[in-house]
Amino acid sequence: MSTLTSEKFGALFDGATQSIFRLETLPVYNPESEASVLKAYLDGEPCPLEGVTTSYMKRVADQSARGIRRFRVHVVQSPLTDYLRCEMEWGYMRNSGAGEEIFVLDTTEHGRPEALIDEDFWFFDETGVVRMHYREDGEFRHPELVVAPDLDHYRAQRDLAMEQAVPFNEYWSAHPQYHRG
């Protein structure tokens, strides 16, 4: 295993020239480190980042302007967890505005593709793969650079997820029951 430092992980984003894809499969991410954000969301407070352009959003916008495709699929199961509702309303809404293409594959509505793995990963320019490792509760542990990845496998996983996923804005509009009111 080749655990990446945050600097080397960031360099993969900076070095991408064509595409950056992300597959997300967990119903909750970072329950400890993002607990205050989720609490604020559930308490009806305004988004603390409203009107703020984060470094992530700046990077997405810059890459989009240079023709680098930034896209992700989040595999979810209805009903959405409070965390996913928060992530979509406070995160995906803003990130999609910066140019990231976000898709949702709701396995309750569309079924889960049989061959789709339960593995979170980033796929850079269809040549580099980073697996994301989390604790059982969803708290992030570390990124792992996959040495000599099976690129056909990761392309197939991306394509399989994309086949049944719908654009985030379409999914969110069709599910007002998840909106915070």
82, part of any domain: yes
Question: Cα torsion for 12, 36, 138, 106, to the nearest 10°?
Answer: -90
In degrees and rounded to multiples of 5, residue 67 shows phi and psi of 85, 15
128, part of any domain: no
68, part of any domain: yes
Per the listing, tokens 């969803």 go with 138
124, part of any domain: no
136, part of any domain: no
How confident is the model over 29-69, as pLDDT tens digits? 998 989 999 999 999 999 998 889 999 999 999 999 999 99
15, part of any domain: no
How confident is the model over 109-119, as pLDDT tens digits? 988 999 999 99
Q: For position 19, what pLDDT does the model report?
A: 98
How confident is the model over 139-155, as pLDDT tens digits? 999 999 999 999 999 99
What are the tokens at 44? 């009806």
What are the tokens at 61? 């916008």
**Structural domain range at position 90:** 20-117+156-181
Domain count within the chain: 1
Question: Cα torsion for 77, 81, 84, 88, to the nearest 10°?
Answer: 90
d(C-alpha 66, C-alpha 63), whole Å: 5
What pTM was computed for the model?
0.95
Most distant pair of Cα atoms in the chain: their distance: 47
d(C-alpha 168, C-alpha 150), whole Å: 28
